[in-house]
């Protein structure tokens, strides 16, 4: 019996086909990208403010410090991160007009009329070696506080959730409940 010889396959174009497939998959594949934090940074300025902050306005600053051991200190008191949302809301809203919490001013806001608006500013500062996860947790609690305040105000003023408002209504709620967050440069913070 004689065996038939198998003809060789011409593999010269296989490399070209593999290259084309590789290019096709690279072009058509999408990769997840980290979104990061949706924060608008203040504009850059060359000027250094040499004037110390006015001490009478300290009442409007809600100090949040996170040390290198990821411990939270709010207004010079240790605080569990689970309580940060409520503490932030209490400071900003100041329903009992406590002189130790943020001050308010009356503003005439489109669609809302005369409205009491908080002058409160959230000041967040971390240590150089604070874990990023802790920083994000603190940021999330602060943002949650503002989202809840805006949602409550939207339900009170317009009878619907903040997400269901149109653009003008959302602008009015944002003007009545501004999200003022100041992030100081990380520093060496002593133990809490």
Does residue 171 register a pLDDT over 60? yes
41-62 per-position pLDDT tens digit:
556 656 555 454 454 468 899 9
Local confidence band at 184 (pLDDT 50, 70, 90 cut-offs):
confident
Q: Where are the domains of the chain?
A: 56-183
User: Sorting pLDDT into bands at 50, 70 and 90, what band is 185?
Assistant: confident
Tokens of 71: 């411990």
H/E element holding 93?
helix 84-93
Q: What pTM was computed for the model?
A: 0.70
């Amino acid at each position: 019996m004689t065996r038939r010889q198998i003809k060789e396959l011409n593999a010269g174009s296989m490399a070209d086909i593999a290259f084309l497939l590789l290019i096709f998959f690279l072009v058509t594949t999408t990769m997840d990208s980290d979104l990061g934090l949706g924060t608008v940074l203040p504009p850059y300025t060359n000027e250094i403010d040499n004037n110390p902050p006015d001490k009478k306005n300290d009442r409007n600053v809600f100090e949040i410090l996170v040390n290198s051991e990821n411990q939270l200190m709010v207004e010079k008191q240790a605080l569990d991160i689970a309580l940060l949302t409520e503490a932030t809301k209490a400071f900003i809203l100041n329903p009992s007009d406590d002189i130790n919490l943020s001050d308010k001013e009356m503003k005439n806001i489109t669609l809302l009329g005369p409205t009491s608006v908080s002058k409160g500013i959230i000041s967040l500062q971390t240590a150089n070696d604070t874990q990023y996860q802790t920083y994000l947790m603190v940021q999330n609690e602060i943002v949650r506080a503002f989202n809840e305040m805006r949602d409550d105000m939207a339900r009170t003023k317009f009878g619907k959730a903040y997400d269901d408002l149109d653009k003008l209504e959302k602008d009015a709620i944002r003007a009545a409940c501004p999200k003022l967050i100041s992030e100081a440069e990380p520093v060496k913070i002593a133990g809490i």
